[in-house]
Every structure is written in C-alpha cells, then in structure tokens.
Structure 1
Amino acid sequence: MRRLTSSLAALLIAAGTLSAQTTREEPAPTGKKEKSHAGINLSLWKNIATQPTDTVGSTCLNLGLFSAMNRLNGLGVNLLAGVVRQDMNGVQAAGLANLTGGSMRGVQVAGISNVNGDHLAGVSLSGLVGITGNHAQGVIFSGLTNITGNRTGGIIIGGLLNITGGHSSGVHLAGLANLSGENFNGATLSGLLNIAGANMQGIQVSGLGNISGETMRGLQIAGLGNVTGGTAIGAQIAPLNVTKDGKGLQIGLFNYYKGNFDGFQLGLVNANPDTRVQLMLFGGNRTKLNVGARFKNRLFYTILGGGTHYLDFSDKFSASFFYRAGLELPLYKQLFVSGDLGFQHIENFKNKDHGFPARLYALQARVNLEYRLTDRLGVFVTGGYGGSRYYNRGVTYDKGVILEGGVVLFKY
C-alpha cells in the first residue's frame, strides 16, 4: 500500500510538473482569465488532480478514480466516473458513468450510464442507461434503456426500451419497446411494442403490437395487432390488422380498413365501413340448431358461429363451432345464390364415454339460395356435402349430404 501511495504521488508530481510547463492564460467566457492545460490529467478526485477543473484547454490522457476536465481529446479511464464539461473526442471508460456536456465522438464504455448533452457519434456501451440530448449515430447498447432527444440512427440495442423524441433510422432492437416520436426508417424489433409517431418505412416486428401514426410503407408483423393511422402500403400480418387506407396485403384473423383499400385481405373476418354484420338462425340435418354472424361485403362473406347437437337429440349434449367463407351473386331481383367452403370443430363431451369420439373436425361445401323479404329479413335454404374425421388419425368418421334452412336478420 505504501509503494502504491508513493508511486501515485510521484505520478501526480510528475504530471503536475508537465502540466505546469504547458500552462498559459486564456480568457474565459466570463471575461476572467483561466488557466489552460493541454496534456495529462491524473486524478484521485475531481479536485485532487494534476489538472485543475477550471481549465479551458483539453486533455489527451486522463487516468483516475473520479475526474473532471474541460475537453478530452484522447483517452480517459476512471474507476468511478469521468466528467467532461464540453466535447469528448476519443475513448472514455468508467466503472460507473461517463458524462459529457457537449458532443461525444468516439467510444464510451460505462458500467451504469453514458450521458451526453449534445451529439453522439460512434460507439456507446452502458450497463443500464444511455442518454443523448440531441442526435445519436452509431452503435449504441444499454442494458435497460437508450434515450435520445432528437434523431437516432444506426444499430441501437436496449435491454428494455429505445426512446427517440424525433426521427429514427437503422436497426433498433429492444426487449420491451421501441418508441420513435416522429418518422422511422429501417428495421425495428421488440418483444412487446413498436411505435412510430408519424411515418414508418421498413420493417416492424413485435411480440404484441406495431403502431404507425401516419403512413406505413413496408412490413408489419405482430403477435396481436398492427395499427396504421393513415395509409398502409405493403403487408400487415397479425391476428388483428387495422388501417385507415391501404394498398397491399392484410393477413390475420380480423382485418379492417376504414376508407379505401387496393389489395387483398386474407382472414377469418374481413371488414370495412361497408361490411354488413348479419345474424343467421338455421337448422339442419348435421348440427341441428345453429346461430352464426355473417360479415358480408359486396361479393365476399365470412361466417362465424356455433351449433348444438351434432349427434341426435336422444344422445347427450354435443356442439360444434364453424367458420365459412364464400361468394354471393344475384340471380333475379331479391334472389341470390352463394357458395362457400367451411371448417367445423365438433365436441362430443360426455358422449365419449358411450363409444363416440371425443372430438372431430369436418370439411364442408355448401350452395345457398337466399331470398330477401325486406331490407332487414331474408330466408335461405342450403344444400351441400361434408365429412367428419378424427384429429389424431386419418380416418373418416362419417360423411353425407347437408340440408339446412333458416333466416337472416339485420340490414342487408
């Protein structure tokens, strides 16, 4: 310990001598003259150093525990923290934090945080948080969060969040969410949410949802939903896809556009302001009593519903859930013909204890004739063919003709 103390003291004395040889008087911004040092700064603490903290010059080499200096043009290494009042050009490393009042150009590495008051250009690696007051460009990694006041570009990786107040570009990866206050260009991937406050051009991929406030050009993929407040040009792929206007492709369980859409929607339900939601009540020889919701556009429609007693009424309760998609065309005045293909899931519940399969699935085809009595009431008859099969083996359980009839309620 005595040797370490003696060696450090000798370094401080030597560096102080070198620093004194490079000292000159320079006018400070306040009008007072301050000492300007350019060279080496060895520091135990910000006030115990070979270079005073009130210098207006620059430092080319800084080694210490906790250092404060005017500018750093070179290398700065501190066990605790390094503070640069103006710009840092070079390499700055600290066990806890690096703080630069102006711009950083180069490399910053800190165990907890890198903070820059103005621009960042280069590489920033921090254990928890990286903060830049204005623009940030380069490779930025933080264990928790990256925050930029204006523009962000490059490869940005945050353990939880990447937040930019203005425009963003490049590749942004976050464990939780990527948030851009204005436009985003590039690829953004997150575990939960991606948000672009204005326009998005590129790719958004998230575990939960993607949101673009205005125009989306590119690809959105989400585990739950994609929402575009303006025009979506490209592809939206998620269980729920929503846009005001669109051109391209929507693939999901529920697809919706509010205005105009030039493209193709592929989903269980495709809806827009002109979609008519109609209630269907019908009976048949397969599932005896049924209720369904028909989502009808100009030509195409989809039906979601369920029914009871796939088996006979004399058996225990059984039920089914079905989905159908088809096309309808006019025949004569209020008479229409339609055809659809459907999938049906069948649950036999307690009937499985009496020799019936626990569950089945069926593929079916139907042709329907529908007559509209009024604007809110119609009647229809159906003929078709279908067969039910086991889920766990490629064997047909039964097959045959389908006969159904019922009514359609609500506005056409």
Structure 2
Amino acid sequence: MTDNTHPKNNCINLSLWKNIATQRTDSVGSTLFNIGVFSSMNRLNGLGLNILSSMTGKDANGVQVAGLSNMVGGSMRGVQVAGITNINGNNLTGLSVAGLVSITGNHARGVIASGLANISGDHTRGIFISGLLNVSGEGASGMLFSGLANVAGGSFKGLSGAGLLNVVGKNLAGMQLSALANITAEEVTGVQISGLGNVVGGTLRGLQIGTANMATRAKGVQIGLFNYYKESLDGFQLGLVNANPQTKVQLMLFGGNATKLNAGARFKNRLFYTILGGGTHYLDFDDKFSASLFYRAGLELPLCKQLFVSGDLGYQHIETFKNKDYGIPARLYALQARVNLEYHLTERLGVFLTGGYGGSRYYNKGVTYDKGAIVEGGVVLLKW
C-alpha cells in the first residue's frame, strides 16, 4: 500500500463518489490522474475527469473536466472545463470554460469563457468572454466581451465590448464599445463609442462618439447629437448641440415668410452656434394649422462692438396635419441657407434681420414642393 501522507506522494485517484476514493482528502500528496463521478482530492498535478464534480483542496496544475463543476481551493494552472461552473479560490492561469459561471478569487490570466458570467479579483489579464456579464477588480487589462455588461471596479487597460453597458470604476486606457452606454468614473485615454451615451467623470483625452457625450474636462473630440464638458482643456465638439463653459444659451423669437411664428434656443460658442426650435403656420394663416421643427448650424463674426454678422445652414421638418385632406403633402422637409445681421441693444436684448433662400421637398420622392427667398426678423434674449 502506498503512503498517501508523504508530501512528495503522487498517485492515481479513482472515485465513484465523494467518500469512495483511493486518496484520502486530508492527504498532503498530489494526484496525477483522477477519474470518477464526484471526486475530492488534496492537489491535482495532471488530469482530472469527472461526470459530476471535481474538488481540489489546494492547488491544481493540469486539466480538470467535469460535467457540472470544478472547484479549486488554491490556484489553478492549466485548463478547466465544466458544464456549469469553475471556481478558484486564489489565482487562475490558463483556460477556463464554463457553461454558466467562472469565479476566480484573486488574479486571472488567460482566456475565460462562460455562458453567463465571469467574476475575478484584482489584476486580471487576458481575454474574458461571457453571455451576460464580466466583473473584475483593480488593475484589469486585456479584452472583455459580454452580451450585457462589463464592469471593472478599478482601472482598466484594453478593449471592453458589451451589448449594453461598460463601466470602469477608475481610469480607462483603451477602448469601450457598447450599444447603450460607456461610463468611466475618472480619466479616459482612448476611445468611447456607444449607441446612446458616453460619460467621463474626470478628464477625456481621446474620442467620444455617441448620441450624448459628457465629460468633466475635455482634451479631445466629442462627436454626437449632444456634447457637453464642464471644463475645457482644448476640447473639440462636433454635433447638433454643443455645450461647454464658453457656451451661451440664448432664446430667439422671430417671424417670417417661411414659417410665420418661431421660437428657438441658440447654443453659441466663440464663433460657431447651433439653433434648435419650432414654428407654426408653414402654410398661410387662412389654411388649417401647420407646424415645423428646425435645426440650424452656423458661424458668427463681429463687425463692431454691438453689431454681428452670421451665416448658417438649416434643416426643417414640416407637418401639415389636416391640410393633407386638401391635397397638400402630409409632411415635407426643407433645406435652407441664411445670412443674419444682429445688433445688441443691451447686454440682455438684441434684434436681428435675416435674408436667405430655401426649398421644401417631398420625403417620398425627389420633387420640390416650394422654393423661394426667406425674410425674417425678431429679437434675441442674450441672458434669460
């Protein structure tokens, strides 16, 4: 009979159930080859094959394959494959594949793939792939791919791609890609791309692309429908609405021959501005109610202290409502160009005159409905 208590002992472990095995579980030796239904051993230095589960009290070096779960109390170096879960109390180095969940208490290095979630401690390195969720602690790096979300509790270096959400608790150096949102609590050095929003709690040094982009400080580029940063470190914004410390939000009230009564909000930076607004009665007052929404972007230059000249290009969506019953298109769009002359009467009030040209067209066919000169005039509330 072999002495299983010797530290250098290696043996073969054949088991049918937890309490039936050729190696005692309190042995300080190690197992070279294990095959069974449900096995429990001290150390594994070789191959373990189990129909249900494999439990190793200390370290495992080699290959563990189980129908349900593999559990290692210490560190695992090698390959783990389980139908449901792989659990390692300390470190993992190698390949871990689980049907549902992989859990590593401390460091994980290698490739980890699970159907549901991967959870690891600090200083994760490698490639993590999960159906729903990847969670890591401080100092993670590598590539994270998940169907739902990636969450790094500390800083992260590398590529993080998720079906919905990426979250980094500290700094990001690399790239975040998501369908919904990317959130980094402190600094970003790299790229954030999302379908809805990107948020940086500290400094952005790189690129944000999304419907809405927000950062506390920006030394990079924001591209989206709405862009905002609180403090400028030489940032650049390209979008429908751009807001930063230099942005002035001004209310415009005006009338004209294109849409008779209009109101808009102008987001004005040092030179460039955008205007969002709406108007009523694209058709004549004699007709039934019609309305429009418009967006304009342009450049303004001072002629003297209180006099300014500007030019912009605009897009207008037009709804004619019940007028469609009288042969008028239900909706149209218009492309317009304007030149504006603005005079500031006080610090709070200005007046302006506009001249331009535009044409409205059908959405469903390349035909012009109406075109002609644009004449408008109104007031702008510079501070309100």
Same fold (TM over 0.5): yes
Larger radius of gyration: 1
Match of 1:17 in 2: none
One of 255, 276, 288 as aligned partner of 2:260: 288
Letter in 2 for 1:117: G
Q: How far apart in 1 are the matches of 2:123 and 2:105?
A: 10
CA separation of 1:24/1:238 partners in 2, compared to 1, >3 Å: closer, same or farther? closer
Q: How far apart in 2 are the matches of 1:231 and 1:333?
A: 35
Higher share in helix: 1
- Following superposition, the deviation at residue 65 of structure 1 comes to 1.1
Match of 1:132 in 2: 104
* Pair 1:78 & 2:50 matched: yes
What are the superposed Cα offsets for residues 243-294 of structure 1, whole Å, 9 maximum, x if unpaired?
1222232110000111114243110001012311111111000100001011
Match of 2:133 in 1: 161
Letter in 2 for 1:321: L
Correspondence list, 1:6-405, <5 A:
20-21=1-2, 23=3, 25-26=5-6, 37-405=9-377
Q: How far apart in 1 are the matches of 2:382 and 2:337?
A: 25
What are the superposed Cα offsets for residues 4-31 of structure 1, whole Å, 9 maximum, x if unpaired?
xxxxxxxxxxxxxxxx23x16548xxxx
Letter in 1 for 2:172: M
What are the superposed Cα offsets for residues 12-66 of structure 1, whole Å, 9 maximum, x if unpaired?
xxxxxxxx23x16548xxxxxxxx7421001112221111111100000001111
CA contact (8 A) 1:256 1:270 kept: yes
User: Is the partner of 2:322 in helix, strand or coil?
Assistant: helix
- Following superposition, the deviation at residue 295 of structure 1 comes to 0.7
What are the superposed Cα offsets for residues 111-135 of structure 1, whole Å, 9 maximum, x if unpaired?
1110001110110011111100000
CA separation of 1:368/1:257 partners in 2, compared to 1, >3 Å: closer, same or farther? same
**Aligned Cα RMSD in Å?**
1.4
Letter in 2 for 1:156: F
The alignment's TM-score, normalised by the length of structure 2, stands at 0.97
Q: How far apart in 2 are the matches of 1:73 and 1:48?
A: 20
What are the superposed Cα offsets for residues 367-402 of structure 1, whole Å, 9 maximum, x if unpaired?
111111121111111111111111111111111110
User: Is the partner of 1:352 in helix, strand or coil?
Assistant: helix
Letter in 2 for 1:316: K
Moved more, 128-137 or 224-233: 224-233
Letter in 1 for 2:303: L
Letter in 2 for 1:56: V
Letter in 2 for 1:39: C
User: Is the partner of 1:49 in helix, strand or coil?
Assistant: coil
- Following superposition, the deviation at residue 212 of structure 1 comes to 1.4
Q: How far apart in 1 are the matches of 2:5 and 2:98?
A: 37
Letter in 1 for 2:228: Y
Letter in 1 for 2:103: I
Matched-pair identity in %: 70
Letter in 1 for 2:70: N
CA contact (8 A) 1:37 1:51 kept: no
What are the superposed Cα offsets for residues 163-200 of structure 1, whole Å, 9 maximum, x if unpaired?
00112211110111000011111111101110111111
CA contact (8 A) 2:232 2:245 kept: no
CA separation of 1:56/1:207 partners in 2, compared to 1, >3 Å: closer, same or farther? same
User: Is the partner of 1:138 in helix, strand or coil?
Assistant: strand
CA contact (8 A) 1:46 1:53 kept: no
Letter in 2 for 1:196: V
Q: How far apart in 2 are the matches of 1:309 and 1:231?
A: 45
Q: How far apart in 2 are the matches of 1:321 and 1:201?
A: 40
Q: How far apart in 1 are the matches of 2:63 and 2:153?
A: 30
The alignment's TM-score, normalised by the length of structure 1, stands at 0.91
Letter in 1 for 2:371: K
CA contact (8 A) 2:4 2:28 kept: no
CA contact (8 A) 2:5 2:29 kept: no
User: Is the partner of 1:383 in helix, strand or coil?
Assistant: strand
Letter in 2 for 1:38: N
Letter in 2 for 1:125: V
CA contact (8 A) 2:254 2:377 kept: yes
User: Is the partner of 1:45 in helix, strand or coil?
Assistant: coil
User: Is the partner of 1:218 in helix, strand or coil?
Assistant: strand
What are the superposed Cα offsets for residues 344-376 of structure 1, whole Å, 9 maximum, x if unpaired?
111111111111111111111111111111211
Match of 1:8 in 2: none
CA contact (8 A) 2:336 2:357 kept: yes
Letter in 2 for 1:265: Q
Q: How far apart in 2 are the matches of 1:286 and 1:24?
A: 94
Q: How far apart in 2 are the matches of 1:332 and 1:350?
A: 47
